Amino acid sequence: MGNQYCQYRCAVEATLDIIGGKWKGIILSELVERPKRFSELKRELPAITQRMLTLQLRELEADGLVHREIYREVPPRVEYSLTDFGKTLEPILNAMQTWGDRHIKQIIERKTARLAVHNDKG
C-alpha cells in the first residue's frame, strides 16, 4: 500500500470505513436484490429511523456505492440502486450472509449468556 493511502493502516480498515456500522451492510444487502424506493427500504428495516436511513443512504451515495435516481413524476419517485462500484461488494455481502447463517445460533447463545451474566451483576 503506497503513501497516498496512509489514512488507513490496512485494507480491512478501508473496507469497514465504507461499509461499517449497524446499517450500511444491511442497506447494501437489500439493494443487491434490486433497486428499491426509500419506503421499501424503510419497510424492510423497521428498526431504523427515517433520519438514520436518510443519513446512511447519503453517506453510501457520497462514497459512490449507491445511486439515487429521481423520476420526474407526480409525486416524484426516488429509487436507490447499487452503482458498479457498489456491486463489487456483492461477494463480501454474500460471504457475510453465509457466515451469519452458519453461526447465528452460536452468536445468539453467546450474546444471551453475556447478557444474563451482566444482568446478574446488576
50 within a domain of the structure (yes/no): yes
Domain count, the chain: 1
17 within a domain of the structure (yes/no): yes
Q: What are the tens digits of pLDDT across the range 17-76?
A: 999 999 999 999 999 999 999 999 999 999 999 999 999 999 999 999 999 999 998 988
116 within a domain of the structure (yes/no): no
118 within a domain of the structure (yes/no): no
101 within a domain of the structure (yes/no): no
What mean pLDDT value characterizes the chain? 91
Report pLDDT for 9: 86
82 within a domain of the structure (yes/no): yes
Task: Return the CATH number at 53.
Answer: 1.10.10.10
Report pLDDT for 1: 45
Closest Cα partner for 27 from 49, 47, 45, 13? 45
Q: What is the pTM of this model?
A: 0.83
State how far the Cα of 113 lies from the Cα of 33, in Å rounded to an integer: 34
Q: What is the mean pLDDT of residues 78-92?
A: 97
106 within a domain of the structure (yes/no): no
32 within a domain of the structure (yes/no): yes
Q: What are the tens digits of pLDDT across the range 18-34?
A: 999 999 999 999 999 99
In the three-class reduction of DSSP (H, G, I as helix; E, B as strand; rest coil), residue 68 is classed as strand
CA 45 to chain centre: 11
List the domain range (segments joined by +) for residue 68.
Answer: 3-88
